[in-house]
Amino acid sequence: MLARILSAALVGVEAALVRVEVDVTPGLPAFTTVGLPDSAVRESRERVRTAIRNAGFPFPADRITVNLAPADLRKAGASFDLPLAVGLTCRRQGIGTLVVPVANHTEARAVDGLRVLAAPTLRDAVSLLNGDTAQAAPPAPDPPASPSTSTDDLDFADVRGQTYAKRALEIAAGGAHNLLLVGPPGGGKTMLARRLAGILPPLTRDEVIEASTIWSVAGLLPRHGELMSRRPFRAPHHTISVSGLIGGGTPPHPGEVTLAHLGVLFLDELPEFQQHVLESLRQPLEDGRVTIARASGVSDFPARFQLVAAANPCRRGCASLDHCICTPAERARYLGRLSRPLLDRIDLHVELPALAPADFRPAVAGDATETIRLRVGAARQRQRERFRGTGIRVNAAMSPRQVRRFCAVPAEAERLLAAAMTGLGLSARGHDRVLKVARTIADLVGAETLAAEHCAEAIQYRGLDRQWRA
């Protein structure tokens, strides 16, 4: 007797269908699992035997062979209860009904167009598979959606002065651009970076599923099945390893760059990170993905995050350039730990001045988070409309071809850009990034075509390129 049941294994953060074929034939009692199962799956024999008996079914005293197909896919134990990833796969492959444990019901139901039945017990699962849906557990009520701005009492209005940096953060949020803040300690770099989350638009419905799938695989979703409702904000410490940041291990686990997918990766004290750790950021920053090769196969993780980094101008953290006791060589060496290719991938460089007493006059308080978030939201809406059907959502994600198509500039701006390429030693990549930022600056004021002034402002944020010419 042969029974076939569809399940799924995990490849990266995607589910691959696995056919579980159980063959029961007369002969000496035996229980064999074939098809590259890992030890956890092999050890499932005792669990299966006990569960079947406890559910009140007889356990056959025959030859049992379990084949997990396709055979070349490694099947790890824990991945067999990842309902969201499995659910997505089912929908794509035209499977209509999914049976999951009760605890995973809410999460799996987030996938539209799929019938999800929850089985409280093995007995109920057997009834469901036999077509008796009366056994299905009633669906739990939808979890309350948490509003996207509730956490933070971190408001932009609390940040004094630093209007230039605030403007850069608004642009960064407006088009999901990477940003580096350089300035003396105590000037508000960390304070500003932590306020970025509050001005980002909420995740769209599709993005909720995309981000939640990753967090589900990493085991980080809250247990009661609540989905991600806000953009992730990850701030790993500078002692993090390459595998912690990028992902790794066997089987490969997602790293911080993947947990930050669709959100923010904040690297505070950037020059303090180990150099090879920083260099490992280059692939995800360029491709929006991470590829991890292992003997067992290649895992591909999504990693389209927005990088926000902060740095003191020198190792000692002197109060300001005027009061800096470090030698010019020491200063150059410190920021020099940030390689040219890494800086090239950071669209906005901002140098913050030390705070001045005048910044603390009440009259100079800037816009509140709520006000900025509305402007950012409107700019993002323009991008969604522009990019409909292109597979991207934000200016930062434009390919070189899309830059040619969506960022045509007037002759006057061409000249400005040409001068910047020579003067700042901008690479072709840097040139494209300037255009993307200019596109966001135009979107923030609702301008349809790029003007020279938008390009001029975008060029201002390439300050560190000049230093690296030296």
- C-beta of 207 vs 351, nearer to Mg ion: 351
**Cβ distance 186 to 312 under 8 Å?**
no
Decide: is 7 part of the binding site for Mg ion (CB under 5 A). no
**Cβ distance 331 to 324 under 8 Å?**
yes
- C-beta of 169 vs 403, nearer to Mg ion: 169
Nearest CA to 304 out of 318, 292, 290, 315 is that of 290
- C-beta of 77 vs 463, nearer to ligand ADP: 463
Decide: is 160 part of the binding site for ligand ADP (CB under 6 A). yes
In the region spanning residues 168 to 187, those forming contacts with Mg ion, defined by CB under 5 A, are none
Q: Which stretch binds ligand ADP (CB under 6 A): 21-29, 154-162, 214-222, 323-331?
A: 154-162
Torsions phi, psi of 69, nearest 5?
A: -115, 145
The three-state DSSP-derived secondary structure of 303-339 is: CCCEEEEEECCCCCCCCCCCCCCCCHHHHHHHHCCCC
- C-beta of 181 vs 413, nearer to ligand ADP: 181
Distance in angstroms (rounded) separating the CA atoms of residues 221 and 51: 27
The site partner of 126 among Mg ion, ligand ADP, none (C-beta below 5 to 8 Å per kind) is: none
- Please report how close the Cβ of residue 129 comes to ligand ADP at its closest, in angstroms: 57
- C-beta of 208 vs 310, nearer to ligand ADP: 310
Reading phi first (left if > 0) and then psi (alpha if -120 to 50, else beta), residue 96 is in alpha
- Please report how close the Cβ of residue 362 comes to ligand ADP at its closest, in angstroms: 12
* Residues 6+ positions from 459 with CB-CB distance below 8 Å: 416, 417, 420, 424, 434
Distance in angstroms (rounded) separating the CA atoms of residues 218 and 13: 9
**Cβ distance 119 to 99 under 8 Å?**
yes
Question: What is the sign of the dihedral through the CA atoms of 112, 115, 120 and 126?
Answer: negative
Q: Provide the token pair at 399.
A: 């390919």
- C-beta of 308 vs 458, nearer to ligand ADP: 308
**Residues in contact with ligand ADP, total (CB under 6 A)?**
14
- Angle, in degrees to the nearest 10, between helices 411-423 and 428-444: 130
Decide: is 355 part of the binding site for ligand ADP (CB under 6 A). yes
Decide: is 162 part of the binding site for ligand ADP (CB under 6 A). yes
The site partner of 188 among Mg ion, ligand ADP, none (C-beta below 5 to 8 Å per kind) is: ligand ADP
- C-beta of 62 vs 272, nearer to Mg ion: 272
- Please report how close the Cβ of residue 364 comes to ligand ADP at its closest, in angstroms: 10
CA 291 to chain centre: 14
C-alpha pair distances (Å), 182 with each of 136, 348, 369: 57, 11, 22
Out of 87, 188, 201, 302, point to the residue binding ligand ADP (CB under 6 A).
Answer: 188
Distance in angstroms (rounded) separating the CA atoms of residues 255 and 220: 12
- C-beta of 155 vs 300, nearer to ligand ADP: 155
468 CB burial (10 A radius; 0-12, 13-18, 19+): middle
The site partner of 230 among ligand ADP, Mg ion, none (C-beta below 5 to 8 Å per kind) is: none
Decide: is 238 part of the binding site for Mg ion (CB under 5 A). no
Return the C-alpha torsion angle 92, 98, 100, 104, nearest 10: 50
Distance in angstroms (rounded) separating the CA atoms of residues 424 and 356: 29
In the region spanning residues 282 to 311, those forming contacts with ligand ADP, defined by CB under 6 A, are 310
- Please report how close the Cβ of residue 457 comes to ligand ADP at its closest, in angstroms: 22
Decide: is 190 part of the binding site for Mg ion (CB under 5 A). yes
**Cβ distance 199 to 173 under 8 Å?**
yes
Decide: is 189 part of the binding site for ligand ADP (CB under 6 A). yes
- C-beta of 310 vs 464, nearer to ligand ADP: 310
- Please report how close the Cβ of residue 255 comes to Mg ion at its closest, in angstroms: 23
Q: Which stretch binds ligand ADP (CB under 6 A): 49-57, 68-76, 180-188, 412-420?
A: 180-188
DSSP letter at 280? T
- Please report how close the Cβ of residue 333 comes to ligand ADP at its closest, in angstroms: 20
- Please report how close the Cβ of residue 181 comes to Mg ion at its closest, in angstroms: 9
Out of 37, 83, 187, 225, point to the residue binding ligand ADP (CB under 6 A).
Answer: 187
Decide: is 127 part of the binding site for ligand ADP (CB under 6 A). no
Q: How many alpha carbons lie under 13 Å from residue 236 in its C-beta half-sphere?
A: 23
Reading phi first (left if > 0) and then psi (alpha if -120 to 50, else beta), residue 94 is in left
Decide: is 186 part of the binding site for ligand ADP (CB under 6 A). yes
Out of 12, 35, 37, 161, point to the residue binding ligand ADP (CB under 6 A).
Answer: 161
- Please report how close the Cβ of residue 358 comes to ligand ADP at its closest, in angstroms: 12
Q: Which amino acid is at 104?
A: N
H or E stretch including 16? Answer: strand 14-25
Q: Which amino acid is at 134?
A: A
The site partner of 12 among Mg ion, ligand ADP, none (C-beta below 5 to 8 Å per kind) is: none
- Please report how close the Cβ of residue 429 comes to ligand ADP at its closest, in angstroms: 28
Decide: is 354 part of the binding site for Mg ion (CB under 5 A). no
Would you tell me which residues interact with Mg ion (CB under 5 A)? 189-190
Would you tell me which residues interact with ligand ADP (CB under 6 A)? 159-162, 183, 185-191, 310, 355
